[in-house]
């Protein structure tokens, strides 16, 4: 079965539908869903943990998106640190740097990212990283702030192969979304072609980045199958092999 390694189904987009969404995912061959905290405010973290507590096949991560770094207070960091002790919390994140939208100043993003890197190291948890147009800084910080010993995944990877190689050299996994199904995504599919399957995750980033043929609609974990299918086509292997290997990869990193 597949694992949707990054979804935000604790958001308001799924109010009153979460149980049905999870059921549809299971029917589509998705055995586990990782609900990622950190988008917007603390409620995304507490909501992720609450879902993980309520459903046996759901796990959670806790952090704060770089867009919101400017609003992260010390007491919130402490609350996130406390949430990492929950038995269903398997990683710190999402966190990272986003120099494309610049919703938070770069120096503030770097300061908060450093705090989460340290939190991941101190709790011995892997880290879920959001990076856009900031690969050089993210690589330098992951290497420098953790002595290169931190393990994790770069979610929704959209960079070139040179950036991919840097992350792979750090021991990180790369996670791909429905973007790889878009018609104009051939450069990214070429990256998928070059990255070893043993270092790949698949995800939806629900409710965003809905893959073809459902593009334009709300995304949900059941659709991770379309991402896996594209990985299989690009790498000329079976969907079953992609499912088996990516599932093994996720288990190896997060140690459920």
Rounded distance, CA 34 to CA 190, Å? Answer: 26
Q: Does 177 score more than 90 pLDDT?
A: yes
Q: Does 58 score more than 90 pLDDT?
A: yes
Q: Does 147 score more than 90 pLDDT?
A: no
CATH of the domain at 217: 3.20.20.140
Report CA-CA distances (Å) from 190 to 43, 171, 233.
37, 20, 12
Residues 181 and 151: beta-carbon distance below 8 Å: no
Counting Cβ atoms within 10 Å, is residue 81 exposed (0-12), middle (13-18) or buried (19+)? middle
Rounded distance, CA 215 to CA 243, Å? Answer: 22
DSSP state of 178: G
User: 85: closest CA among 41, 25, 125?
Assistant: 125
Domain of residue 183 covers 2-254
pLDDT of residue 169: 96
| 234: confidence class by pLDDT, cuts 50, 70, 90 | very high
pLDDT of residue 109: 97
Rounded distance, CA 203 to CA 222, Å? Answer: 10
Residues 172 and 153: beta-carbon distance below 8 Å: yes
User: 249: closest CA among 165, 158, 171?
Assistant: 171
Q: How many domains does the chain have?
A: 1
| 119: confidence class by pLDDT, cuts 50, 70, 90 | very high
The 3-state DSSP class for residue 33 equals strand
Rounded distance, CA 211 to CA 181, Å? Answer: 6
């Amino acid at each position: 079965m597949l694992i949707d390694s990054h979804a935000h189904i604790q958001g308001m987009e799924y109010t009153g539908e979460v149980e049905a969404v999870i059921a549809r995912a299971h029917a589509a061959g998705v055995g586990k869903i990782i609900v990622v905290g950190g988008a917007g405010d603390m409620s995304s973290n507490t909501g992720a943990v609450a879902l993980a507590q309520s459903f046996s096949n759901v796990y959670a991560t806790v952090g704060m998106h770089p867009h919101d770094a400017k609003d992260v207070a010390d007491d919130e960091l402490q609350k996130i640190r406390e949430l990492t002790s929950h038995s269903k919390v398997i990683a710190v994140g999402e966190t990272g740097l986003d120099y494309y939208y610049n919703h938070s100043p770069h120096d503030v993003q770097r300061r908060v990212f450093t705090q989460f890197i340290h939190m991941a190291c101190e709790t011995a948890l892997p880290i879920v990283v959001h990076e856009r147009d900031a690969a050089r800084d993210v690589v330098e910080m992951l290497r420098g702030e953790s002595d290169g010993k931190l393990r994790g995944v770069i979610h929704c990877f959209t960079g070139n192969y040179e950036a991919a190689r840097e992350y792979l050299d750090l021991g990180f996994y790369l996670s791909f979304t429905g973007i790889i199904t878009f018609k104009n995504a051939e450069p990214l599919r070429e990256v998928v072609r070059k990255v070893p399957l043993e270092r790949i995750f698949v995800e939806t980033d629900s409710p965003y980045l809905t893959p073809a043929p459902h593009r334009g609609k709300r995304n949900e974990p059941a659709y991770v199958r379309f991402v896996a299918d594209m990985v299989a086509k690009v790498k000329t292997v079976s969907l079953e092999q992609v499912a088996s290997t990516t599932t093994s990869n996720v288990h190896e990193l997060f140690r459920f």
